[in-house]
Amino acid sequence: MPFGILESNGKLEHVPGTALLEETGLDETSQLKKGTGNDANVVLIPQPSNDPNDPLNWPLWQRDLLLLLYCFCTLCCVGGVGPLLSVMAFPLIEEFNINFTQVSLLTGYNLCAVGAVGVFVSALARKFGKRPSMLGSMALAFAGTIWAGAAQSYGSLVGARVIQGFGIAMFESVTFAIIGDLYHVHQRGTRMAVYIVSQSGVAHLPSLVAGKISVDLGWRWVFWLLSIFLGLGMLLTIFFGWESAFSRNELYNIDTSSQNNIEIIENLKAGSTHHEKAEEKAIGASAAEIVGTRDSFVKRMRPYSGTYSDDSIIRMILRPFFVLINPVVTWAIFVIAFSQLWIVCISFMIAQLFGQPPYSLGTAEIGYISAGPMIGGLVGCILCGLVSDPLARWFSRHNNGIYEPEFRLILIIAVPIFCAPGYFLFGKLAAEGRSPVIMATLWGITFVSVQIAAVATGSYLVDAFRNISVEVFIISMCFKNFLFFGFSFFLNDWLASWGPVKTFNTIGGIMLAICATTIPVYIYGKRLRAWWHSHSVFSKI
């Protein structure tokens, strides 16, 4: 019972997700590949193959630059496209003669489109790799943004927002799985935090400047300028957004396999053979690994590099819905969705709260309030980046070198510390008409909790269920965006009816209750992982 985590009571020799992270003097790990420098005693999970085209064998600086490229594209798509209109509510209301709810629905329809195409993006990414989907997504986001800038009616703008939604679906889901493609377990927490910075940490940066741009140049120029950055991201993706999917022999995935493959890998690398029939197939596949030169730069630029699964597209479209059978996945989806929902709610409400008495702020000033969540999100992600991996390694080291994915969930202890005062005080002080600086600060404090929840649950899902991580993040994104879409119909009326105090007290109470559900997941998580793998749900679909 390591640190309160109950051991599996089933017959599995090795529960997927549990892995030997730190060498503790055991002879059986002597031949396994390990890290370098300060990570010299860290066993690489998964083990890289002998193919130079395996992303795990790429230089770390190349992988990090690739991640930064996707971070830039994510910031443009998720931050630039998603919440952008919230600060431009008054210019849109004046030009198209609409109300606050209709402004919120411009984002709502966008999010609905994201959720609607999510499962198809997931299927295509698993079947044909991430690069084709990435290129198509950037092209759609770019086209939709140009259309939005040229829209002459409310209906036309809705259509542009839908096309943008088709483009940003990739960046709200599949890109999480790319971290699992590019990095080992001990490297993922920090990189997950870096990615979360772009997806939500500084996602309000475009909104911060959008208000000023719409006042000085007109709201259409917000989209024109965004299209320039999207075009740059598309060009960089064409040249440097290489395929991260790789058909690695399952023998090396010592984190997702239910069999203990360490002894097999050891003997393979030592040059000996095995005679057990159960191992001959794996040994033969490993020995067939090609050791050669890495693909040329031109070849890496090809938009399509083959298929990465033998499953049919129809089966892959259905797979994300079946992960909901897994109670841990369902729990994580609720945590991610509801923690982010309330921040989106504030974005929907911001013009209604601060554009009318007692604040009566202008469009540019409303945009400046977004500095709060931008700074808070950045602080939250930096905090997670500094703590996530070292915390997991500390617990592993004191657990005889054995890593449990549930160690990632310990970070959620910090979520109520930030979200409780943030939400409870936000509603109270907004009703009293307190300084916009104070309100921006409280918005930032609540956003710290969102980053912690996203990094903790995201890292946990990648480590505990890496082989279904694409499906998990896709169904999470679909549920989250349909939830946002539903709330966009009544959110502004809810705030007007209840008032800020009652509204945000309710939100704060819901978040505290959701945080409390982490306790049983932490305790029973390993048993649930064993149950999921033992029943092989996906093999029956």
Tally the residues of the chain: 541
Distance from C-alpha of 415 to C-alpha of 452, rounded to nearest angstrom:
6
Residue 25, phi-psi category: left (phi > 0), alpha (psi -120 to 50), beta (remainder): left
Distance from C-alpha of 66 to C-alpha of 239, rounded to nearest angstrom:
11
CATH 1.20.1250.20 fits 310-540, yes or no: yes
Q: Do 310-540 and 47-256 have the same topology in CATH? A: yes
Contact 479, 409 (CB under 8 A): no
Contacts of 421 (CB under 8 A, 6+ apart): 442, 445
At position 64, the amino acid (one-letter code) is D
Q: What angle do CA 171, 166, 211 make, to 5 degrees?
A: 75
Distance from C-alpha of 458 to C-alpha of 337, rounded to nearest angstrom:
12
Distance from C-alpha of 339 to C-alpha of 331, rounded to nearest angstrom:
12
CB-side exposure of 528: number of CA atoms within 13 Å? Answer: 21
Q: Report the sign of the C-alpha dihedral through residues 322, 326, 329, 334, in that order.
A: positive
CA 106 to chain centre: 23
Distance from C-alpha of 22 to C-alpha of 79, rounded to nearest angstrom:
38
Contacts of 340 (CB under 8 A, 6+ apart): 200, 450, 454, 480
Contacts of 279 (CB under 8 A, 6+ apart): 264
CB-side exposure of 155: number of CA atoms within 13 Å? Answer: 0
Across the strands, what pairs with 390?
Answer: none
- What CATH code is assigned to 47-256? 1.20.1250.20
Q: Report the sign of the C-alpha dihedral through residues 318, 324, 326, 328, in that order.
A: positive
Helix or strand (DSSP H, E) at 358: none
Q: Three-state DSSP class for 399?
A: coil
Q: In 3D, which of 418, 423, 421, 425 has the Cα closest to residue 448?
A: 418
Residue 191: CB atoms within 10 Å? 22
Task: Indicate the domain borders of the chain.
Answer: 47-256, 310-540
Q: In 3D, which of 244, 229, 227 has the Cα closest to residue 170?
A: 244
Q: In 3D, which of 37, 60, 44 has the Cα closest to residue 403?
A: 44
Q: What angle do CA 29, 461, 247 make, to 5 degrees?
A: 60
3-state DSSP helix/strand/coil % of the chain, to nearest 5:
75, 0, 25
Contact 54, 246 (CB under 8 A): yes
Q: Output Rg (C-alpha) for the chain, integer angstroms.
A: 24
Strands 19-20 and 402-403: antiparallel
- Is the N-terminal amide bond of 46 cis, ω within 30° of 0? yes
Q: What angle do CA 483, 476, 420 make, to 5 degrees?
A: 65
Question: From first to last of its 541 residues, what are the pLDDT tens digits of the chain?
Answer: 568 888 877 666 678 778 766 655 544 555 677 777 777 777 787 888 888 999 999 999 999 999 999 999 998 888 778 767 878 888 999 999 999 889 989 988 998 999 899 889 888 888 999 999 999 999 999 999 999 999 999 999 999 999 999 998 888 877 777 888 899 878 887 887 788 778 776 777 787 888 889 889 999 999 999 999 999 999 999 999 999 988 877 666 665 554 444 444 445 444 444 433 333 344 334 434 446 788 899 999 999 888 888 888 888 888 888 888 899 999 999 998 999 888 888 888 888 889 888 888 888 888 888 889 888 888 888 888 788 888 888 988 888 888 899 999 999 999 999 999 999 999 999 999 999 999 999 999 998 998 899 889 988 988 888 777 778 878 888 898 899 889 988 988 999 999 999 999 999 999 999 999 999 999 998 888 888 877 766 565 5
